[in-house]
């Protein structure tokens, strides 16, 4: 994205719109909000749009109608749809019509930012001429790292991708599991079919079944219309079961049957539905251990781990750190319109010594923050934990929607780290914040540590 471009957000709900705009700006990108498709179409900022975050359900012209209108005009702006829980049939159409992603409310800021990054990637690819990504190693474009451990993993991915084998990607948080899951899809014969991600951790347990398999009208209170599930949506493509370790035990036998038989019934329905779907799952938990401890079904574990891949943590491939720093500095500088010519050697050494509990995502955050704060052409990257995160305190008050998403994210990390804040494996390090910033944020968001028994 170059300097004059911006992310355009069309949503009639002002709180959602403002939360999205704020999250995009917090990333250092330009953003404009519009309350309707008409507003967007008639506004001059439209010419500078680099990507569109679009609510499906809009008052005058619907999101889908806007999408077809843009297509008719041969405007290939990448579109990320935002949908409510009941909108799956619409997202099927949106994806078939070429939307690059869709997010189901409520989503967190991280998911949104990742989707926007992918949209930028797609836009750049279109600009370079299509087709290049259709085969071969270009599916690994943007995956940085020449270290032996990473190359070993990429070799496995290349081999397993063209088969229909179920792949289980394990690795610590931020190691690139989702990135690699997408590469599996892109290197398979299903690459032109849908890639459907399901975050098993963010969909409430009771909703997950109908989310995966769909439901018939009247299946339960509130099921006002039939809904197509994600498995059906992924027909002909790949379903990515992210955070599979968080899936409720009661649901696991159903998933097992689905994987074995490739068929299922919608909740409240009797007709058996078949879907031709390739499964890729990911988790940062130790599923084998969970299976031994009976917190994850053993039979499902074996089924999922037909082809297990373990992504090495960044501290086991330190030789990749420097290349990653250059990559993130260059892409971020281009996005925010800054000139970065070099990275201070001392910064590279400093980064090489750090342990990176948050892995590549943490490194990316640290480098991008440094680029945003940079005053000259030589980038100095402060060690994580040093007070570079003052921008967090200085930023304008969080709008409620954004406060909610960051609250959920912080709570999740606190939970994962057992409420340990300091230290290399603590929550502050994982969030790439210093300790006092995290304490400040927690206070501001009303997060208090629960008594030991309730954790």
Residue placing its CB nearer to Mg ion in the complex, 178 or 320: 178
The answer to whether residues 405 and 418 touch, using CB atoms and an 8 Å cutoff, is no
Q: Is 12 exposed, middle or buried (0-12, 13-18, 19+ CB in 10 A)?
A: middle
Binding residues for ligand ATP restricted to 346-375, rule: CB under 6 A: 360-361, 364
Residue placing its CB nearer to ligand ATP in the complex, 124 or 219: 124
The answer to whether residues 46 and 54 touch, using CB atoms and an 8 Å cutoff, is no
306-to-25, 239, 274, 390 alpha-carbon distances in Å: 42, 16, 21, 46
Three-class SS of residue 7?
strand
Query: Which of 220, 202, 183, 15 is CA-nearest to residue 110?
Result: 202
Give the one entry of ligand ATP, Mg ion, none that residue 364 binds, where binding means its C-beta sits below a cut-off of 5 to 8 angstroms depending on kind: ligand ATP
According to CB under 6 A, which one of 38, 152, 179, 326 is a site residue for ligand ATP?
179
Strands 79-83 and 272-274: unpaired
Taking phi over 0 as left and psi of -120 to 50 as alpha, with beta for the rest, 192 belongs to alpha
The least distance separating ligand ATP from the CB of residue 72, rounded to whole angstroms, comes to 32
Verify binding: residue 175, ligand ATP, rule CB under 6 A: yes
The answer to whether residues 97 and 124 touch, using CB atoms and an 8 Å cutoff, is no
Residue placing its CB nearer to Mg ion in the complex, 101 or 178: 178
Give the one entry of Mg ion, ligand ATP, none that residue 193 binds, where binding means its C-beta sits below a cut-off of 5 to 8 angstroms depending on kind: none
Give the one entry of Mg ion, ligand ATP, none that residue 113 binds, where binding means its C-beta sits below a cut-off of 5 to 8 angstroms depending on kind: none
Cα angle value 87/185/279 (rounded, 5°): 70
Verify binding: residue 170, ligand ATP, rule CB under 6 A: no
Upstream peptide bond of 106 is cis (omega within 30 degrees of 0): yes
According to CB under 6 A, which one of 30, 178, 362, 368 is a site residue for ligand ATP?
178
Residue, CB closest to ligand ATP: 176
Handedness of CA 219, 195, 16, 61 (dihedral sign): negative
Binding residues for Mg ion restricted to 305-334, rule: CB under 5 A: none
The least distance separating ligand ATP from the CB of residue 86, rounded to whole angstroms, comes to 26
202-to-104, 207, 247, 306, 366 alpha-carbon distances in Å: 10, 10, 10, 25, 26
The least distance separating ligand ATP from the CB of residue 89, rounded to whole angstroms, comes to 28
Question: Mask of contacts with Mg ion, 168-197, x by CB under 5 A?
Answer: ----------x-------------------
Question: Mask of contacts with Mg ion, 120-159, x by CB under 5 A?
Answer: ----------------------------------------
- The pair of three-digit structure tokens given for residue 452, joined into one six-digit string: 């030991």
Q: Helix 109-128 vs helix 400-416: angle between axes, to the nearest 10 degrees?
A: 100
Question: Mask of contacts with ligand ATP, 389-408, x by CB under 6 A?
Answer: --------------------
The least distance separating ligand ATP from the CB of residue 393, rounded to whole angstroms, comes to 25
Give the residues lining the site for Mg ion (CB under 5 A). 178
Give the residues lining the site for ligand ATP (CB under 6 A). 114, 142-145, 171, 173-179, 284, 327, 360-361, 364
């Amino acid at each position: 994205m170059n300097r004059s471009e911006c992310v355009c957000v069309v949503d009639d709900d002002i709180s959602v719109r403002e939360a999205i705009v704020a999250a995009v700006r917090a990333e250092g990108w330009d953003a404009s909000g519009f309350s309707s498709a008409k507003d967007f179409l008639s506004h001059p900022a439209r010419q500078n749009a680099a990507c569109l975050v679009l609510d499906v359900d809009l008052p005058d012209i619907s999101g889908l109608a806007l999408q077809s209108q843009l297509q008719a005009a041969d405007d290939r702006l990448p579109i990320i749809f935002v949908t409510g829980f009941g909108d799956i049939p619409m997202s099927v159409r949106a994806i078939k019509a070429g939307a690059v992603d869709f997010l189901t409310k409520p989503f967190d800021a991280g998911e949104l930012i990742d989707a926007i990054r992918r949209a930028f990637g797609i836009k750049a690819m279109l600009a370079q001429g299509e087709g290049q990504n259709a085969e071969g190693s270009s599916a690994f474009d943007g995956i940085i790292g020449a270290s032996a451990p990473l190359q070993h993993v990429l070799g496995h991915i290349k081999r397993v991708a063209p088969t229909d084998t179920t792949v289980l990607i394990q690795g610590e948080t931020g190691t690139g599991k989702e990135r690699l899951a997408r590469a599996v899809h892109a290197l398979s014969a299903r690459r032109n079919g849908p890639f459907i991600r399901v975050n098993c951790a963010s969909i409430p347990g009771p909703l997950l079944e109908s989310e995966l398999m769909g439901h018939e009208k009247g299946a339960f209170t509130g099921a006002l219309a039939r809904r197509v599930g994600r498995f059906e949506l992924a027909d002909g493509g790949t379903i990515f079961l992210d955070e599979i370790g968080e899936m409720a035990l009661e649901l696991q036998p159903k998933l097992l049957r689905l994987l074995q038989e490739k068929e299922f019934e919608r909740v409240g329905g009797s007709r058996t539905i078949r879907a031709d779907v390739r499964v890729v799952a990911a988790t940062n938990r130790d599923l084998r251990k969970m299976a031994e401890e009976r917190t994850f079904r053993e039979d499902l574990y074996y089924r999922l781990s037909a082809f297990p891949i373990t992504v090495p943590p960044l501290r086991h491939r330190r030789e990749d750190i420097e290349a990653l720093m250059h990559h993130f500095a260059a892409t971020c500088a281009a996005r925010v319109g800054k000139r970065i010519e070099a990275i201070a050697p001392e910064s590279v050494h400093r980064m090489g010594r750090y342990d990176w509990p948050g892995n590549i995502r943490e490194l990316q955050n640290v480098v991008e923050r440094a680029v945003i704060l940079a005053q000259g052409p030589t980038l100095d990257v402060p060690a994580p934990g040093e007070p570079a995160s003052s921008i967090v305190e200085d930023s304008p008050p969080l709008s409620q929607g954004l406060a909610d998403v960051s609250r959920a994210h912080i709570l999740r990390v606190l939970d994962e780290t057992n409420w340990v804040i300091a230290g290399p494996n603590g929550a502050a390090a994982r969030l790439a914040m210093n300790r006092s910033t995290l304490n400040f944020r927690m206070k501001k968001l009303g997060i208090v540590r629960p008594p030991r028994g309730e954790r």
